[in-house]
Amino acid sequence: MSLAGRFLRHVRAQPPQSQRLFAILALAAVILVILAAEAMAEAYLAAFVLAISAGMGASVLLHAHRLTGGFWGEAARPTLEGLAATVPFVSIAGLALIVLQFAIYPWIGEGALSERPAVASLYLNPLGFGIRLVFILALWSAMAVSAAGLAFVNRIASGLFLALYAFTVNFAAIDWIMSLEPHWASTTFGALFAITQIAIALALLLWVDAGGEARPRDDLAKLTLASILGVVYMTFMQFLVQWSGNLPEKVEYYLLRGSVLWQGVLILSLGAAALAFVILSRTALRQSRSATRFAGLVTLVAALLFLWWEMAPTFDNALGVVFSLIALAAAAMAMIAAAKGGGRSRSRSSDESRRSTAARATGGAP
């Protein structure tokens, strides 16, 4: 039976109430796409950025562990592989941006880059955006497949993939987020995006307790602490350099986020990051399952709000702002589900290993 046939069979097997709910949600989605196409496209971008960030953060951690080793990587491997395995599927969904870019980015259109058209249009054009998108997603999918242990599993491949990631993450950050404001630029934005991806993956690991035991849990907490410091430091230095430079196109980025709403969002994000920092700074709390899980959740909320603060102020309508926050939350819940799925796989593998060991010890069949 085809994939579509299995899907329809599954839908028919649901209770009538579930079928009606599914029909209502599908109809609502169609209506929203028709009536608020631009807002839905902006929400799609936000969800894509968070989902791809979680998977790629996990992929980076897996490749880094393959090169360096450590108890944390062995304990968290099933969860990390579960997150990395989402990248090819998120990448396929991300190809929709080739079409949706016309509803999202302000640099598409007559006179949109009137200040420096000869230079800017060489990079910011629909064809170039599409080519770079396909290349980045294909490379990142291969990197994630390797990280998940499905192909190219060796230290040389890990080193090459990390080097290529360090190069391509800059173009991803520029194309997907920075170009929402085509007259603004930051040389640290790519590095900031990379650290944010790692922070999101680590936050998910803490929330599902991927470490499982005190020592790897402590290691993961320390890595999360370092990623929080990295994001905050890079964000502050970017602000300090650009604000002190007093260039109109640089300062405009912060003026756009100067309203009460966006100041409040940034304060909430920084407050959540500070709370996670305080928890993870304590040795005893780093080894506590409940404390690290809470710190992971708080870190994930801080990253979600930070991405919203980066992207949503550029959206032209209120629906896009609201829908993007909902989409970010939905993507975060989907990634939590993927992380939990990896954790359940680890539990099943551990149970099978224990049963096999017990069987061998008693002389029985495994």
Amino acid (one-letter) located at 270: L
Please report, in angstroms and rounded to a whole number, the separation of the first and last CA atoms in the chain: 35
pLDDT given for residue 354 in this prediction: 41
> For residue 353, what pLDDT band results from cuts at 50, 70 and 90?
very low
- Which candidate, 158, 101, 166, 165, places its Cα nearest to that of 129? 101
pLDDT given for residue 9 in this prediction: 54
Amino acid (one-letter) located at 116: R
H or E element at residue 183: none
Q: How far apart are CA 341 and CA 208, in angstroms?
A: 10
Q: How far apart are CA 205 and CA 307, in angstroms?
A: 19
User: Please, what are the domains in the chain?
Assistant: 39-346 (1.20.1630)
The mean pLDDT value of the chain amounts to: 85
- Which candidate, 133, 155, 135, 165, places its Cα nearest to that of 59? 165
- What tokens does 254 get? 């912060």
Among 114-128, 152-166, 182-196, the range scoring the smallest mean pLDDT is: 114-128
Among 20-29, 94-103, 245-254, 353-362, the range scoring the smallest mean pLDDT is: 353-362
pLDDT given for residue 171 in this prediction: 95
Q: In the predicted model, is pLDDT for residue 248 greater than 60? A: yes
Mean pLDDT confidence for 104-115: 71
> For residue 357, what pLDDT band results from cuts at 50, 70 and 90?
very low
Mean pLDDT confidence for 159-179: 95
Q: How far apart are CA 154 and CA 257, in angstroms?
A: 45
Mean pLDDT confidence for 182-189: 89
Contact (Cβ atoms closer than 8 angstroms) between residue 32 and residue 40: yes
Q: In the predicted model, is pLDDT for residue 361 greater than 50? A: no
> For residue 149, what pLDDT band results from cuts at 50, 70 and 90?
confident
Q: In the predicted model, is pLDDT for residue 153 greater than 90? A: no
pLDDT given for residue 356 in this prediction: 44
pLDDT in tens, 255-313: 899 899 999 999 999 999 999 999 999 998 988 899 999 999 999 999 999 999 999 99
pLDDT in tens, 85-105: 999 999 999 999 999 999 999
CA 248 to chain centre: 31
Separation in Å, CA 259 to CA 263, 303, 305, 329, 353: 6, 20, 15, 23, 56
Mean pLDDT confidence for 153-174: 93
- What tokens does 69 get? 């080793």
Contact (Cβ atoms closer than 8 angstroms) between residue 177 and residue 311: yes
Higher pLDDT, 356 or 280: 280
pLDDT given for residue 183 in this prediction: 84
pTM reported for the whole predicted model: 0.85
